[in-house]
Structure 1
Amino acid sequence: MADKNYTELLNDLKDNKIKELVVKPDEFTEFQVAYMNFDTRKRVIGKADQNGVITYTYLSDSGTNS
């Protein structure tokens, strides 16, 4: 598995370049480091699916997920 740049992916989510970010259980530890250092992490909303997969979206200024 190639390492993902989660900081870049979180910025893409924030900038609406991507609609969602899917994180699998084996990626979570690496993702969490970027997430905890992300300046607007309180706007990143995660929804847990089966098997520990989490889909993140970004809460826009209008109050809705983009």
Structure 2
Amino acid sequence: MDHEAAEQLIEQLRNGEKEEVVISKDEFTNFREVLVKQADKKDFRGNAQHRGSVIYTYEPGWTA
């Protein structure tokens, strides 16, 4: 996954176009590099799965 693809997925989560995104173990590092640069990074929730995949959702205020 390149940075542009990660940015598109993040934007789709943010806009509600997607409820969740599954990121594989191989894609995780590139996705995370883009995610941590977002101003609202704390609104994204990652749920680790078996075999290294992570399911991300956008939940504003979940950390409050």
User: What fraction of aligned residue pairs are identical, expressed as a percent?
Assistant: 28
Q: Distance in 2 between matches of 1:18 and 1:7?
A: 13
TM-score by length of 2: 0.83
Give yes or no for contact 1:7–1:38 (8 Å, CA) kept in 2: no
**RMSD between superposed Cα atoms in Å:** 1.7
Name the amino acid aligned to 2:22. V
Give yes or no for contact 2:23–2:55 (8 Å, CA) kept in 1: yes
Count residues with an aligned counterpart.
Answer: 61
Give the corresponding residue for 2:21. 21
Give yes or no for contact 2:44–2:60 (8 Å, CA) kept in 1: no
After TM superposition, the runs of 4+ consecutive aligned structure 1 residues lying more than 6 A away are none
SS in 2 for 1:57: strand
TM-score by length of 1: 0.80
Unpaired segments of 5 or more residues in structure 2? none
